[in-house]
Amino acid sequence: MGTTCILDVATPLTMVLAETTSQDSIYYLHGLDLVAQSDGTTIDYLAYDGLGSVRQVLDDVSVPLLNQTFDPYGNLLARGGTGESRFGFTGEQVDANGLVYLRARYYQPGMGRFLNMDPSRQEMNPYQYGFSNPIDYTDPSGLIPIECMIDSDSDECLDARFRPYIVSREQWGAREPVFEYCYEDFYGEECIRGEDVFWEGLYDADCNPDGYAPYEDYKPGQTLEEIIFGAVIHHSGNTNDMTIQEVQNEHMDGNEHMADIGYHFVIAKDGTIYEGRDIGVRGFHVTAANTGRVGILVVGDFEPGDWLGTYPNDMKISNEDPDIPTSNQIDSLTALIRYLDVIYGLRLVEGHNDVNPDTRCPGNRLEPYVVQLDSQFGGE
């Protein structure tokens, strides 16, 4: 009989949430790591060593049900107790045949090597595990070793643990930033550079301080962790269900003539997170407060009826069809804010109208979530 698994594929490394056979089910509870497992009646807690390997399974009064130890390459040295867990070396699933499932491929602790070649082709030795240094490196993706001990706060490790799946600019076919806007009029082609206030252009401290500003040019010597302090959440309003490509086209070809999409991230209605403007570049999503603030668009109109005009024609003209953020959007937004908080240390999670009070963005149906995220992830 087979086993049915429920997976969380929105995390950087796919996680098992539940396993069901015809006889029983096991549910896995995740915090920042796998915290506990439950058969529906009792909860057992997992205890890890520095490498993230499951060394003990404890009951709800901390009595050890299972003790196990591994050698540096993950061979089981000793095991005792009546408890069970499918998770072992480096906290990964171990199949009944002793192979460790590392997602892209299986690892064989007895040989200290992978059974298959590295599909990413990034390693000189395509079968080698953890640069042959399993004390300092793990390889949870099966693609690239990372120096990621449990509780490690290296950027690489935090990124691997917390980064949600984000569709890259390359994947969605983003246009490259443009710093010069040209149009043709009666007198021929005219080009406007960034010094025109209604055109973003490239940052220049003297001539175009409002321009497209990579932080390395705008604030040299400062890290992104020092600069980024907040996230601002937007909705797409009356234009409602836009694709990432449409958002970028509107920003670059609209009245502002932005150099690129103004937001750093866009979350579609199905919860997919798209990479927008490079996070190392100042955004263009609020008035006069973009430095250090990450712009996030949640696609939808979360305050229907706030604009009842008839122009442009594709805008809503009634307050019917109210939108609410989808549960996928809220899950993705939460994962993204958590990731930004871990990497940059957010001190504020704001709605657009917290920064510019004259707008109703991000809408009264999204605002409660913004308040909740600020209380959860904002603050000192």
Partner 1 sequence: MTRTLLLLGTLWVGVLLGLCGCQSLEDEIAENETKAKAIIAALDLYQQTYGMYPDTLEELSPVFIYRVPLTADEEEFQYRNYDDSELGYRIAFSVNSNYGCGYEAKFEEWECSPDPE
Q: Which residues bind partner 1 (CB under 8 A)?
A: 197-198, 209-210, 229, 251, 256, 258, 262, 284-292, 347-348, 356-357, 359, 361, 379-380
Our CB check for partner 1 shows the closer of 141 and 356 to be 356
Residue 370 zone, left/alpha/beta (φ > 0; ψ -120 to 50; rest): alpha
**26 token code pair:** 């096991």
In whole angstroms, the minimum distance from the beta carbon of 301 to partner 1 comes to: 14
55 versus 257: smaller Cβ distance to partner 1: 257
- Burial zone of 142 (CB within 10 Å; 0-12 exposed, 13-18 middle, 19+ buried): buried
The distance of closest approach from Cβ of residue 244 to partner 1 in the complex, given in angstroms and rounded to an integer, is: 16
Residue 138's Cβ-side half-sphere holds a number of Cα atoms within 13 Å equal to: 23
Q: To which residue do tokens 């529906």 refer?
A: 40
Compare residues 160 and 281 and give the one whose CB is closer to partner 1.
Answer: 281
In whole angstroms, the minimum distance from the beta carbon of 243 to partner 1 comes to 19
Q: Report the C-alpha gap between 60 and 41 in whole angstroms.
A: 12
Nearer Cβ to partner 1, position 160 or 298? 298
Cβ distance to partner 1 smaller for residue 70 or 199 = 199
Q: Provide, rounded to whole angstroms, the least separation between the CB of residue 319 and partner 1.
A: 19
Give the residue with the Cβ less far from partner 1, 105 or 316. 316
> Between the CA of residue 244 and those of 22, 262, 336, what are the distances in Å?
43, 11, 17
**3-state DSSP of 17-68:** EEEECCCCEEEEEECCCEEEEECCCCEEEEEECCCCCEEEEECCCCCEEEEE
Give the shortest CB-364-to-partner 1 separation in angstroms.
Answer: 17
- Closer to partner 1 at the Cβ: 109 or 230? 230
Residues 6+ apart with CB under 8 A from 147: 136, 137, 154, 156, 157
Nearest distance in Å: CB 253, partner 1: 14
Q: In which residue are the tokens 């439950």 written? A: 38
Closest approach of Cβ 81 to partner 1, in Å?
A: 48
Rounded Cα gap, residues 81 and 71, in angstroms: 19
